[in-house]
Structure 1
Amino acid sequence: MPKGEWFDWHLHPQHQFAWAAEGMLTVQIGDAAYVLPPSRALWIPAGILHRTGAASTSSMHSIYFGGRQWVEPTVVAVGPLLAELIQYLADLTLPSAPRRRAEAVLRDLLVPVPVSTIHVPTVSKRLSLIAQALTDDPADDRDLAAWGRLVGASSRTLARAFVAETGMTFGAWRTQVRLLASLPLLAAGMPVATVARRVGYATPSAFVAAFRRVTDTTPGAYFS
């Protein structure tokens, strides 16, 4: 998958296990985004609406299961053995008997990783210009008064609209946008100081503090 390619919103009748052997995937489920380097995969329960995109040029593998495992989307650690098994099961000519045995071993290797996802609630059309501008440039530091002059509304009106539509203040919502934008950069190994500047923080410490407040961990530990 080239960088920026997306499979649009869809669901599967079976559970899906999505993993990138190379590059990074982003899986969006509702307002939650999961950024997956090769060290992580995502269990997507059957019937869950989602979309999957390539945060960088990626080699995506998916395995589909029946039976029961987890009822919620679950991030899983991928070590060398699990990675080899996934690629083994990617062989579509594999006979059914060895496939069943390999799938049983694979299930035994699925170890959930505690992780806090970053939620960016969607907004209505009247706020979409602001949302798109901040998605394109998370470092844009205009306040609500400046945005109001652009969209033809008072800062008070916009403030009320963000709380009503997202359950967050504008500042809290923009923090989520910035942190979500930081994940592919961090996963690619970009230095924290560079990421902080790219997504609108004056200092690395301010970025780390915001990241820890939302995810309960530091940027350096998030993908380890």
Structure 2
Amino acid sequence: MDDKLTAIVLTRFPLDAGEGFDEHVHDHHQLAWVRDGVLTVTVGDRNWVLPPSLALWIPAGVPHTSTAGRTAATMQGIYLPSEMRAEWTAPTVVGVTPLLRELIDFLGDAEAPGPARTKAEALIPDLLAPAQTFTVSVPMPHDARAVRIARELLLDPGDARDLGEWGRHVGASTRTLSRIFAAETGLGFTQWRSRLRLRASLAYLADGESVGTTAMLVGFGSTSAFIAAFSELVGVTPGAYFARVAQLADQRHELAD
């Protein structure tokens, strides 16, 4: 890509389930969005789960990973000149309105520079409005034994082994592992695992899975326990949160009319 980017550049990336890009950076701002499916973007300990109604503004130079959810997805990489939204120096979630989607489609199909393309590009910054969402931060441990546990739980958050069983698995005492998780993540193991499970639940819920099935898949003992944990962290129930996310684009479109 040209280091002196002066126009919006778009690239589509078809992704299989679970496929994505390891940590990388861009020289230009990026708007990460999926036309279909679900995209997870991670920056450090922060994690965003994006259905098609949401996109993430990633400032130039910010290391990040991007991964499709449980099903195939079509990621749209939208690269923007440095003068666009230069005041946004941190990752920012935006709502994807029907108008913004139409403009992205137009720019993707426009083969050559011209007055129409210039006008379309000029509209983009005005349509990028922050959307109220939340992230689930899951600090990762550094000790090799705890890292092994974390990696296995990331692959299967529903794994029900307690800390004693994990200790026998990785060759450490319960007390040692408890001390490691508290010192390196700031959370007790049970609290840390609950946080990881809640983060994993976002991808299932964003992909249309029911609350009850999601609770089971990520390892909560009951739907009510899952709803209680989610509500305590987010402030609303899973159903209320994702109903609000699904309505974001249409609401912003109505406000713009």
Normalising by structure 2, we get a TM-score of 0.82
1:117–1:215 contact (8 Å) kept in structure 2: no
Whole-angstrom CA distance in 1 between matches of 2:115 and 2:105 = 17
Q: Which residue of 1 aligns with 2:186?
A: 167
Partner of 1:118, secondary structure, is: coil
Whole-angstrom CA distance in 2 between matches of 1:219 and 1:96 = 45
Shift of residue 80 of structure 1?
1.1
Whole-angstrom CA distance in 2 between matches of 1:25 and 1:76 = 14
Query: Where do residues 7-156 of structure 1 align in structure 2 (5 Å cutoff)?
Result: 7-55=21-69, 56-65=71-80, 66-67=82-83, 68-91=86-109, 93-124=111-142, 125-156=144-175
1:115–1:215 contact (8 Å) kept in structure 2: no
Q: Structure 1 residues 57, 37: closer, same or farther in 2, change over 3 A? A: same
Shift of residue 27 of structure 1?
0.7
Residue type at the aligned position of 2:225? A
Query: Root-mean-square deviation (CA), in Å?
Result: 1.5
Gaps of 5+ in 2: 1-14, 247-257
Whole-angstrom CA distance in 2 between matches of 1:5 and 1:77 = 24
Larger mean CA deviation between 123-132 and 175-184 belongs to: 123-132
Residue type at the aligned position of 1:89? L
Shift of residue 199 of structure 1?
0.8
Partner of 1:132, secondary structure, is: helix
Shift of residue 96 of structure 1?
4.9
1:8–1:52 contact (8 Å) kept in structure 2: yes
Whole-angstrom CA distance in 1 between matches of 2:114 and 2:200 = 41
Whole-angstrom CA distance in 1 between matches of 2:186 and 2:35 = 37
Partner of 2:123, secondary structure, is: helix
Whole-angstrom CA distance in 1 between matches of 2:229 and 2:79 = 36
Whole-angstrom CA distance in 2 between matches of 1:87 and 1:60 = 13
Residue type at the aligned position of 1:76? V
Q: Structure 1 residues 102, 197: closer, same or farther in 2, change over 3 A? A: same
Whole-angstrom CA distance in 1 between matches of 2:141 and 2:112 = 46
Larger mean CA deviation between 184-193 and 129-138 belongs to: 129-138
Residue type at the aligned position of 1:63? I
Residue type at the aligned position of 2:120? A
Q: Which residue of 1 aligns with 2:253?
A: none
Shift of residue 39 of structure 1?
0.5
Residue type at the aligned position of 1:64? Y
Partner of 2:22, secondary structure, is: strand
1:63–1:90 contact (8 Å) kept in structure 2: no
Residue type at the aligned position of 1:110? L
2:141–2:180 contact (8 Å) kept in structure 1: no
Normalising by structure 1, we get a TM-score of 0.94
Shift of residue 43 of structure 1?
0.3
1:77–1:111 contact (8 Å) kept in structure 2: yes
Whole-angstrom CA distance in 1 between matches of 2:134 and 2:236 = 9
Gaps of 5+ in 1: none
- Higher RCO (CA 8 Å, separation ≥ 6 residues): 2
Shift of residue 103 of structure 1?
2.1
